[in-house]
């Protein structure tokens, strides 16, 4: 099968969408399919692309001016690329975002008759502040009407729709977009994150490089450093801990990286909270080994890939409760939920002080995510492709 995967954002910019596409593409190629990722050119793409000849970059475009969405480009007159897609002789197109590449996907279906699969990745109602905080607060209803109209257009113009969780399916149904939805959780290369895949010496060297001692108890956050991830809440809870050997490492970059780093310095926490910035994808499995527990306060997740990666790396989770996580986190078994900030502080200290409880939860981490193995994910997506083609 010749498969075109379209997205407005991809590596080297790291995000849940980029990770999902990368895992899918590699898995499809392993199964013997031909894959073409069509995506815009971004800073650093040449260095990244040299190892992946199946990435086809679209030239031109205007980088969106708002701080939180500068990783996206608007490409005008995108229909001119339909001819290039025709030359690829695709059996199916699978698109993952709704800006220029979503528009191109719909045009390709209409003009070339190529079956179309669409994955809904993002809860846009949690991201309206990127447009404008004031507008998001004052004009939320009209902005939501625009969001629903965009989602409706892409869903109704696709042969099959994939959602990563029941939460997203319920959200689309609440928008009165009534279609059949295929729930396909994104898979993970679990081996990349397993403890046995990394030398202890490499982990110790990395700890030393970051100023961590071997016996420090490390709380870890991995992801986009942005408002919707709730990092401010994590800092609020962490700063109440009066233990010199408990550290907090924040891995990732994003629109609020500078603001959050400045806050940490202003509050005198820079010896306890360490920032790594963006880490290359090929090193991320090693960086996960720094953590003893994984923290997150986001309620905007569509599935929670970072949570699954952390569990695969053997880390108990301490995360804010969200319905979407009920299939990932079993409270008291592979992690602990919190609802308010004081409970976050309490849970960190609970796992720090109670070694028996910590070891019990840690023993369950990897077992709890075996169902997210990448091969299962690829197999399920291929079934959706067959459904779309058979239409």
Tens-digit pLDDT profile for residues 228-253: 899 999 999 999 999 999 999 999 99
Tens-digit pLDDT profile for residues 75-132: 989 999 999 999 999 999 999 999 999 999 999 999 999 999 999 987 665 554 445 5
Q: How many CB atoms lie within 10 A of CB 376?
A: 16
Tens-digit pLDDT profile for residues 176-221: 999 999 999 888 889 999 999 999 999 999 999 999 999 999 999 9
The dihedrals phi and psi of 3, each to the nearest 5 degrees, come to -120, 125
What rounded mean pLDDT belongs to the chain? 91
Interatomic CA distance for residues 26 and 35, integer angstroms: 9
* CA atoms within a 13 Å half-sphere pointing along the CA-CB vector of 226: 20
Interatomic CA distance for residues 204 and 199, integer angstroms: 9
CATH node for 190-372 = 3.40.50.2000
Q: Is-cis flag, bond preceding 75, omega within 30?
A: no
The boundaries of every CATH 3.40.50.2000 domain in the chain are: 2-187+373-390, 190-372
Sign of the dihedral defined by the CA atoms of residues 188, 193, 195, 196, in that order? positive
C-alpha distance from residue 267 to each of 43, 49, 244, 273, 302 (Å): 33, 41, 16, 11, 32
The DSSP letter of residue 273 is E
The answer for residues whose C-beta is within 8 angstroms of residue 83's C-beta and 6 or more apart is none
Interatomic CA distance for residues 167 and 189, integer angstroms: 23
Interatomic CA distance for residues 41 and 43, integer angstroms: 7
CATH node for 2-187+373-390 = 3.40.50.2000
Question: Is this structure's pTM higher than 0.85?
Answer: no
Q: Per this entry, what is the length of the chain?
A: 391
Mean pLDDT over 312-318 rounds to: 97
């Amino acid at each position: 099968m010749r498969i075109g995967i379209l997205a407005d954002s991809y590596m080297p910019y790291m995000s849940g969408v980029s990770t999902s596409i990368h895992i899918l593409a590699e898995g499809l190629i392993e199964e013997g399919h031909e894959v073409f990722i069509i995506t815009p050119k971004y800073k650093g793409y040449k260095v990244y692309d040299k190892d992946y000849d199946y990435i086809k970059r679209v030239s031109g475009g205007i980088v969106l001016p708002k701080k939180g969405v500068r990783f996206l480009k608007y490409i005008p007159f995108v229909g001119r690329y339909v001819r290039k897609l025709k030359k690829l002789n695709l059996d199916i197109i699978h698109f993952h975002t709704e800006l220029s590449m979503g528009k191109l996907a719909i045009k390709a279906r209409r003009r070339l008759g190529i079956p179309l699969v669409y994955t809904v990745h993002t809860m846009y109602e949690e991201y309206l502040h990127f447009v404008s905080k004031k507008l998001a607060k004052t004009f939320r209803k009209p902005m939501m009407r625009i969001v629903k109209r965009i989602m409706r257009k892409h869903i109704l113009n696709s042969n099959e729709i994939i959602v990563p969780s029941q939460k997203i399916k319920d959200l689309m149904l609440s928008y009165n977009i009534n279609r059949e939805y295929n729930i396909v959780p994104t898979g993970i290369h679990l081996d990349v994150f397993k403890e046995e895949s990394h030398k202890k010496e490499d982990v110790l060297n990395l700890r030393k490089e970051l100023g961590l001692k071997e016996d420090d108890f490390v709380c870890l956050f991995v992801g986009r450093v942005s408002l919707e991830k709730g990092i401010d809440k994590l800092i609020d809870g962490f700063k109440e801990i009066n233990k010199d050997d408990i550290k907090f490492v924040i891995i990732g970059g994003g629109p609020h990286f500078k603001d959050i780093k400045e806050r940490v310095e202003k509050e005198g926490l820079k010896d306890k909270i360490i920032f790594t910035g963006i880490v290359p994808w090929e090193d991320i499995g090693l960086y996960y080994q720094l953590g003893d527990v994984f923290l997150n306060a986001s309620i905007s997740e569509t599935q929670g890939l970072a949570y699954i990666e952390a569990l695969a790396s053997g880390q108990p989770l301490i995360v804010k409760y969200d319905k979407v996580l009920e299939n990932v986190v079993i409270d008291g078994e592979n992690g602990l939920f919190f609802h308010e900030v004081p409970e976050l502080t309490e849970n960190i200290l609970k796992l720090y002080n109670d070694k028996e409880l910590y070891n019990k939860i840690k023993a369950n981490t990897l077992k709890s995510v075996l169902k997210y193995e990448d091969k299962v994910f690829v197999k399920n997506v291929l079934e959706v492709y067959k459904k779309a083609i058979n239409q």
